[in-house]
Amino acid sequence: MNIPNKMSAADAVKLIKSGDRVLIQGGSATPQSLIKAMVARASELRGVNIVHLHTEGECGYVAPELKESFYTSAFFIGGNIRKMIGVTADYIPVFLSDIPSLFREGYMKLDVVLVNVSPPDKHGFCSLGVSVDIVISGIEMGKTIIAQINPKMPRTFGDAIVNINQFAACVEVDEELFEMQFVAPSEEEKAIGKNVADIIEDGATIQMGIGGIPNAVLTYLNNHKNLGVHTEMFSEGIVDLVEKGIVNGSQKKVNPNKIVSGFAMGTRRLYDFMDDNPEIEMLDIGYVNDTSVIRQNPKVTAINSAVEIDITGQVCADSIGTRMLSGVGGQMDFMRGAALSEGGKPIIAINSRTLKGVSKIVPTLRTGAGVVTTRAHARFVVTEYGVAEFFGKTLRERANALRDIAHPDYREELDKAIFERFGSSIMI
């Protein structure tokens, strides 16, 4: 069909005015052509507020020399802007599930939304493809929507479908999506993956992200049965499990027989798997990450990671001391949702120490570290050395359990910290 309001990227971004707030679709869907055209207009713009989840690829809008033109307020910090936090960018602490309400309830008004969508079908409907998450609420509430129409974007369903007449400007591009390459798990990550897989039950509904540990977990699920997926994001490892019939969603109570997600990141293989696949429902993150929705599925097993954990079970997942690394994201949405699910298991899975050999299980969190998952919410911690279970355990019992799964080089140090904090063992 004919593309309405078709124009060049340079002309499309002229709809952005000084002082506007601009939401950019993120992840693998980051609309690079529109971003580059917007940055090229920097000399004409002042005080444009950029908001987004993490983006991928170039992000010229955070360049220090453009600080009069653009400043960024990130809901989640990606690697491409991390060094600019405190310079030309800042972080908004917020649960992922709450971000759509910022837009819908008027706390954050959006002037312009930049998106990357599939070409329209014969009825004029495009798809947001691999990233629906917070973007669909942005389209709903934004004053001006600018879209790059991209044949490389897979056509997905659920809340992803948007009519082309909603776009004030359309720019035709042929732009590859960002690809997150598979990284083979280390030996430690393989051990963690096996330990996690061992406590995932048949019929469980799983949530996990991307990276070495999630990849390792997925490789150890080949003998499981009837798994479901309800997750804020998913990656390529899910494809193998679907093709083997291990993931089928048959036990789910909410969106049964469907893979539910807000966004996805992987290689072209994943995007081709998603294309025109009715088994996948890409949905508004306000729904996907709603604890009251998550808890309705059986045996929800939420697998998340952390920067460090203290001996009482406080989980820092977003910072190293005062230095911000990422964000709150959806960790607490799923940790709590899993805890409330019948038979659910909220899991923090970590290497026992960093690549530099520093223990991730510590007597106390670093000064300024953020607590993402509180000690009352943490239930399972998994390292390459085993599983620590917290529910109903005292502070001392938690500390001893964490010591037992810490790296052996640090157990004596942790023993000393436990004694200093809690004294000699209580005899019952």
Active site residues: 232
Q: Does residue 45 contact residue 69 with C-beta atoms inside 8 Å?
A: yes
- Beta strands at 259-264 and 280-282: parallel, antiparallel or unpaired: parallel
CA 365 to the chain's CA centroid: 23
Pair 257, 248: CB distance under 8 Å:
yes
What is the helix, strand, coil percentage profile of the chain, to 5?
A: 30, 25, 45
79 to 84, 326, 327, 349: CA distances (angstroms): 10, 8, 12, 21
Residue 172 Cα to chain centre, angstroms: 28
CA-based R_g, the chain, Å: 22
- Whether residue 252 contacts residue 271, with contact meaning beta carbons closer than 8 Å, is answered with no
What is the distance between the alpha carbons of residues 75 and 103, in angstroms, rounded to a whole number? Answer: 13
Residue 237 tokens read as 């490892």
Residue 75: name the closest of 327, 306, 321, 323 by CA: 327
Tell me the CA end-to-end span of the chain in Å, nearest whole number.
77
CA distance 281 to 261: 7
- Yes or no: say if 271 and 154 are a contact pair by the CB < 8 Å rule: yes
Cβ atoms 4, 172 nearer than 8 A: no
CA atoms of 360 and 191, how far apart (whole Å): 16
Collapsed DSSP state (helix, strand, coil) of residue 3 = coil
- Cα-Cα-Cα-Cα dihedral of 344, 159, 133, 163, to 10°? 180
Instruction: Check if the beta carbon of residue 168 is closer than 8 Å to that of residue 145.
Output: yes
Say whether 237 sits in a helix, a strand or coil: helix
